Amino acid sequence: MNRRQFLASFAGAAAFAQSSRKPNIVLILADDLGYADLGFTGATDIPTPNLDRLAQSGIVFTNAYVSHPFCSPTRAGLMTGRYQQRFGHENNPIYDPQNYSAGLPTSQITVAQLLRSAGYVTGLSGKWHLGAASKFLPSERGFSEMFYFRGGGHDYFKQELSGAPREYLIPLERDGKPVAEPEYLTDALAREAAAFIRRHHAHPFFLYLAFNTPHTPIQTAPHHAEKVKPIADEKRRGYAAMVTALDEGVGKVMQAIAESNLDAHTLIAFLSDNGGPINVTASHNTPFREGKGTVYEGGIRVPFVMRWQGRLKPGRYQQPVISLDFLPTFTAIAGARTPTNVDGVNLMPYLQGQKSGPPHERLFWRAGGGVSYAVREGRYKLTRQQGAAEQLFDLDADPSEQHDLSSSQPDILRRLHAAYETWNRSNIAPLFESPRPAQKKKG
Ligand code: CA
């Protein structure tokens, strides 16, 4: 065998090994990102070239939702594939390492546990926010390598390694040990994610990269701020700089995947955990109504992309989907077990054209133990925001939820209300409340 034949046979064997290997999965979460604050969702003042490239080479979901309008419950749904109200995780857990009741109940199985059982290396970089006591930590919930902080947010520059720091100043932890981190936090989380990918390039991996940007506090690094200097409004300029930090971080992850020759072997999913808090950060959810904390579209409809080169044809997917769908999609492509009680749906057959029609007959939301709720069925949505009456909107004709049809279409309103009541019968009361206002750290 000459050198060329040898190389050809080697390349053939490598290609075979690659095609039969399990795909890697990278789940990237942004925190409080406004719907319209990326290039591919309409922003013209914030440059997001990396996320736009991801969107262009993947599937952009135009009717994609999270299962809650704020941080921790969305993450509980994302990790379990179940409506989090089924197991009482409807509020943000207090940051308290001694509190053994406020966190993702250990009775629930996580996507990381399922993928690890199927032979995956499982990594976390970022914000946890699913309980601060030892039994709730990522090491106990399926992750094998971790660089993270336990709470619901963090200062981007500072941490206190001694004493009893408040939630946003706690030390970052690497595999259970506090570590000093000198870099701007968003850059550090991306650095760790890229290193994880390079470290495990030869083995199937699941990476959960949970950025806390662009969540408050608005703190910017000069190299990000430089990119948004032309924005006149000071509040939006600070927020925008944090969105560019997010974008640059996603770029570093994409680069690590490409340089490891893993583009065709890696599913990348990207979304935000809830809508932008428009008055707090000057984020934009255009054209959707209101924002974070509400069950209007501005609170729950999010930018959402899946890219798997060679397996998912780039384009747009219009049917309603929800973040609960990730778990069964991931376990299906990984050949892992899918628990029978998940509410999410494996999206692959829909995205690859083997199934048509909507993956879900209806989607549901409930917040505050039921003071707010919503139901989406096809083009119609029942919305009941705390303190207001039930409203009915036609999202195809009125995505901004401006024209209430509850009196002109009472039959549809009744049907959606009945569907909500039926769904709600299998939910339980919240197991814990969000921290009291005096201690509250915004989720
Ligand atoms: Ca959030």
Is residue 62 located within the same domain as residue 178? yes
Does some domain include residue 437? no
**Tell me: the pLDDT tens digits for 165-198?**
999 999 999 988 999 999 999 999 999 999 999 9
Report cis status (omega within 30 of 0) of the bond before 349: no
Indicate if 262 and 296 belong to the same structural domain: yes
> In degrees rounded to 5, what are phi and psi of residue 316?
-120, 145
Q: Quick one: average pLDDT of 122-133?
A: 98
89 is catalytic: no
Alpha carbon distances (Å) from 339 to 81, 108, 112, 325, 345: 9, 10, 13, 13, 11
Write the pLDDT tens digit of every residue in 224-243: 999 999 999 999 999 999 99
321 and 346 share a domain?
yes
CA distance 401 to 392: 8
* Mean model confidence pLDDT for the chain: 95
Query: Which of 257, 250, 272 lies closest to 186, judged by CA?
Result: 250
Query: Do both 343 and 395 map to the same domain?
Result: no
284: in domain: yes
DSSP 344: -
CA 212 / ligand 1 centre spacing (Å)? 8
E strand or H helix at 185, and its extent?
helix 185-199
Inside any domain, residue 371? yes
CATH number at residue 154: 3.40.720.10
Range(s) of the domain holding residue 215? 21-351
Same domain, yes or no, for 296 and 405?
A: no
Centre of ligand 1 to C-alpha 31, Å, is 4
Contact 240, 278 (CB under 8 A): no
Percent of the chain topping pLDDT 70: 94
Reference 34, options 258, 234, 292; nearest CA is: 292
- Residue 212 resides in a domain: yes
pLDDT value of residue 441: 47
Q: Is the pLDDT of residue 73 over 50?
A: yes
| Cα 339 to middle of ligand 1, angstroms | 27
Does 230 reside within a domain?
yes
Q: CA geometry: angle at 242 spanning 240 and 246, to 5°?
A: 115
Distance 238 CA to ligand 1 centre (A): 17
Question: Do both 345 and 376 map to the same domain?
Answer: no
- Domain holding 388: CATH number? 3.30.1120.10
Q: Is 16 domain-assigned?
A: no
Instruction: Indicate whether 240 and 377 sit together in one domain.
Output: no
Among 331, 351, 371, identify where a domain stops.
351
C-alpha 153 to ligand 1 mean position (Å): 9
Band of the pLDDT at 19, cuts 50, 70, 90?
A: low
Identity (one letter) of the amino acid at 247?
D
The answer to whether residue 17 scores a pLDDT higher than 50 is no
Q: How many domains does the chain have?
A: 2
Q: How many CA atoms lie within 13 A of 26 on its CB side?
A: 31
Q: What kind and span of H or E run contains 266?
A: strand 266-272
* Whether the predicted pLDDT of 103 surpasses 80: yes
Whether residue 64 lies inside any domain: the answer is: yes
Number of Cβ atoms within 10 Å of the Cβ of 83: 27
Q: Does residue 367 sit in the same domain as residue 313?
A: no
Pick the catalytic residue: 68, 89, 129, 224?
129
Same structural domain, 220 and 369: no
User: Is 71 considered catalytic here?
Assistant: yes
Q: Is residue 203 part of a domain?
A: yes
328 and 368 part of one domain: no
Question: Residue 191, SS3?
Answer: helix
